[in-house]
């Protein structure tokens, strides 16, 4: 078979494994319309952390190493191979030759170095100003340089176990076109140029982002002519648009609508356990959430089982840790705070709040993969809190404003969540709860600062032995549970609703979609 395949290729005939097997043969053409709940914030991978930006970014850009979508393990990407010194300090990556950016410029080691330095060096002439991921992807990087046109060497100050996995993350790890950054400056996030299978066409703010196929893509041109990421904020309207055939793929539907998709003859579900957590963060820099008994009272006051029954329709599991249960390092021995309003009232009284107190609860308007109906969940949480005399005013913002304003600590309490990026516990625990990220703006929305936790998480980063890291992360979860900066709420199942004529769409446990080999059956889609 190998020799026959070679003959076909030499003759200019594309051989496909489905030929002669009864499997459908992919066809080129068509534009995939992807329905989502919110617009992207920016398409500059250095300055974003939200999943709605990430969906588009991962189609435009590439990283040095890439995930295996099934296992989340790092494999070859723009670098076809790499080596690490025995000390774990020196990392050398050997780039593929012949890769070009969408603007035609060759992707070389200098472009990789440029992409890193614009995030970690404030004196770099094109420093991006507000890097979101650089602080943990590159936090131990002492230097990065091109040793020749296609070789990049990183030297780390300390061993950093998540380094390779983190380089897979499009946010921060993506390689950008230096020429485009120099041309567009601060507007690069609206004029993105990468080397991925799709290239930017246009952005209609609040409505849609349009990508077209990169016909010169080094892995082979995509089958699709393009992708439209369409923003439909209301999940009910998003479902109706899907039923009418105006959306080919949708995420973030109401759980009841997800159940209805199973009854549609032209549709199917991609359903998997997700690497995610939905949580309520208490701003520990603000009274009264600087008091442990108050934070524990909030944990006892919230009925998680009811939230999951009513608003997730059982398409989630109650959360007791920041880590999801399918993430290695999860501590299942921890006992969750049970729903106990009486104990919550007793703790509030002991903390000096016999009559309760007033506060605010911030939430986003848009549904998220980890939280399908944020405003309804906020109202249910408010009712639980009112039952123990915590009177919370609900504050609702659109997604962009919610992310921006909670990052600088304007909230008292806020609902948020996290989609794991890299399959490593560090991505949840250090990113969301370490004191290093309790800055403004920061990803630690509880602004929780604990020295013992910090030491464990840093040890976890520097150990190259998986069993040692598991033990450290189990202890870290104990500290987080005991200090209660969050009320972990739920781990949602990853549900993607897809039309049956869409073939080859890959979704990984982190929720990222791969469109390179996606195609549309022509016999069912004009």
CA 520 vs CA 145, 250, 305, 366: distances in Å: 42, 15, 40, 29
Q: How buried is 304 (Cβ within 10 angstroms: 0-12 exposed, 13-18 middle, 19+ buried)?
A: buried
Question: Does residue 231 surpass a pLDDT of 90?
Answer: yes
Q: What is the crossing angle of helices 374-386 and 292-301, to 10°?
A: 110
What are the Cα distances from residue 189, in Å, to 51, 105, 200, 232, 319? Answer: 15, 19, 11, 21, 35
- Cβ contact 269:263 at 8 Å: no
Is 20 a residue whose pLDDT tops 50?
A: no
Question: 130 falls in which pLDDT band (50, 70, 90)?
Answer: confident
Tell me if 264 sits within 8 A of 247, measured CB to CB.
Answer: no
Lowest mean pLDDT segment, chosen from 9-18, 168-177, 417-426, 494-503: 9-18
Label residue 523 by pLDDT band (50, 70, 90): low
Domains 43-54+61-188 and 198-273+494-520 share a fold: yes
Q: 424 pLDDT exceeds 90?
A: yes
The answer, yes or no, to whether the previous bond of 16 is cis (omega within 30 of 0) is no
How do the domains of the chain map onto residue ranges? 43-54+61-188, 198-273+494-520, 276-493
Q: How far is CA 474 from CA 25, 266, 321, in A?
A: 47, 45, 10
For the chain, percent of residues with pLDDT exceeding 90: 80
What's the distance, CA 472 to chain centroid?
A: 24
Answer whether residue 21 shows pLDDT above 80: no
> Cβ(454)–Cβ(438) under 8 Å?
no
Residue whose pair of structure tokens reads 């020295």 in the numeric block: 451
* DSSP character at residue 246: S
| 176: helix, strand or coil | coil
> Is residue 121 scored above 70 in pLDDT?
yes
Confidence label for 304 from pLDDT (cuts 50, 70 and 90): very high
The angle at the Cα of 232, spanning 280 to 427, to the nearest 5 degrees, equals: 40
CB atoms within 10 A of CB 523: 9
**Cis peptide bond N-terminal to 443, omega within 30:** no
CATH number of 276-493: 3.10.105.10
254: left (phi over 0), alpha (psi -120 to 50) or beta: beta
Which tops the pLDDT comparison, 204 or 422?
204
Residue among 509, 497, 505 nearest 521 (CA): 505
Give the CATH class of 43-54+61-188. Answer: alpha beta
Q: Which two tokens stand for residue 169?
A: 């993350």
| Nearest in space to 433 (alpha carbons), one of 402, 479, 467 | 479
Torsion of CA 204, 234, 253, 278, to 10 degrees: 90
Burial of 354 (0-12, 13-18, 19+ CB in 10 A): exposed
Q: What is the pLDDT of residues 78-109, one digit of tens each?
A: 999 999 998 889 999 999 999 999 999 999 99
Cβ contact 505:249 at 8 Å: yes
Question: Is 233 strand, coil or helix?
Answer: coil
Residue 204: what pLDDT? 98
Q: Which CATH class is domain 198-273+494-520?
A: alpha beta
pLDDT at 22: 54
pLDDT exceeds 80 at position 1? no
pLDDT at 446 over 90: yes
Helices (H) and strands (E) in the chain, counts: 17, 22
Kindly tell me if the per-residue pLDDT of 418 is higher than 60. Answer: yes
Tell me the three-class secondary structure of 100-117, residue by residue. ECCCCCECCHHHHHHHHH
Q: CA angle 191-400-498, nearest 5°?
A: 80
Q: How far is CA 35 from the centre of its chain?
A: 17
Task: Please tell me the predicted confidence (pLDDT) of residue 502.
Answer: 97
Tens-place pLDDT, residues 52-61: 899 999 999 9
pLDDT tens digit sequence for 262-286: 899 999 999 888 899 999 999 999 9
User: Is the four-CA dihedral 275, 280, 284, 290 of positive or negative sign?
Assistant: negative
What pairs with residue 358 in β-bridges?
391
Q: Is the pLDDT of residue 195 over 80?
A: yes
* Res 524: pLDDT: 45
């Amino acid at each position: 078979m190998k020799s026959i395949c070679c003959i076909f290729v030499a003759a200019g005939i594309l051989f496909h494994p489905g030929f002669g097997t009864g499997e459908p043969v992919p066809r080129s053409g068509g534009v995939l319309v992807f329905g989502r709940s919110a617009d992207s914030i920016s398409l500059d991978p250095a300055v974003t952390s939200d999943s709605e930006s990430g969906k588009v970014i991962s189609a435009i850009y590439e990283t040095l190493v890439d995930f295996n979508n099934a296992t989340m393990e790092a494999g070859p990407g723009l670098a076809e191979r790499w080596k690490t010194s025995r000390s774990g300090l020196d990392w050398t990556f050997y780039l593929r030759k012949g890769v070009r950016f969408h603007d035609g410029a060759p992707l070389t080691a200098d472009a990789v170095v440029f992409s890193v330095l614009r995030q970690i060096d404030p004196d770099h002439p094109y420093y991006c100003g507000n890097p979101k991921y650089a602080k943990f992807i590159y936090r131990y990087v002492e230097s990065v340089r091109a040793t020749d046109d296609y070789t990049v060497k990183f030297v780390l100050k300390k061993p950093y176990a998540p380094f390779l996995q983190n380089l897979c993350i499009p946010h921060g790890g993506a390689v950008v076109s230096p020429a485009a950054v120099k041309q567009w400056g601060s507007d690069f996030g609206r004029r993105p140029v990468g080397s991925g299978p799709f290239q930017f066409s246009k952005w209609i703010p609040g409505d849609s982002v349009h990508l077209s196929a990169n016909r010169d893509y080094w892995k082979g041109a995509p089958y699709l002519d393009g992708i439209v990421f369409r923003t439909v904020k209301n999940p009910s309207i998003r479902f109706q648009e899907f039923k009418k055939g105006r959306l080919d793929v949708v995420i973030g539907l109401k759980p009841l609508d997800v159940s209805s998709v199973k009854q549609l003859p032209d549709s199917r579900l991609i359903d998997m356990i997700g690497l995610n957590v939905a949580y309520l963060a208490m701003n520990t820099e603000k009274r009264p959430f600087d008091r442990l008994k108050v934070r524990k009272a909030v944990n006892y006051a919230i009925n998680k089982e009811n939230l999951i029954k009513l608003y997730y329709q059982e398409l989630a599991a109650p959360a007791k840790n920041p880590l999801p249960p399918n993430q290695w390092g999860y501590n299942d021995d921890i006992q969750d705070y049970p729903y106990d309003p009486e104990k919550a009232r007793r703790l509030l009284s002991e903390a000096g709040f016999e009559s309760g107190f007033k506060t605010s609860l911030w939430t986003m308007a848009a549904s998220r993969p980890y939280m399908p109906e944020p405003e309804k969940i906020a109202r249910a949480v408010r009712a639980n809190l009112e039952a123990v005399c915590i009177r919370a005013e609900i504050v609702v913002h659109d997604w962009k404003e919610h992310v921006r304003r909670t990052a600088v600590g304007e909230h008292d309490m806020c609902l948020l969540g996290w989609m794991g990026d890299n399959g490593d516990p560090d991505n949840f625990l250090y990113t969301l709860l370490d004191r290093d990220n309790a800055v403004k703006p920061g990803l630690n929305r509880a602004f929780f600062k604990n020295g013992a936790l910090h030491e464990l998480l840093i040890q976890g980063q520097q150990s190259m032995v998986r069993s040692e890291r598991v033990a450290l992360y189990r202890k870290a979860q104990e500290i987080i549970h005991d200090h209660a900066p969050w009320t972990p709420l739920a781990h949602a199942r990853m549900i993607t609703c897809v039309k049956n004529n869409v073939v080859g769409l890959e979704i990984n446990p982190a929720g990222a979609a791969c469109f390179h080999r996606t195609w549309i059956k022509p016999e069912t889609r004009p």
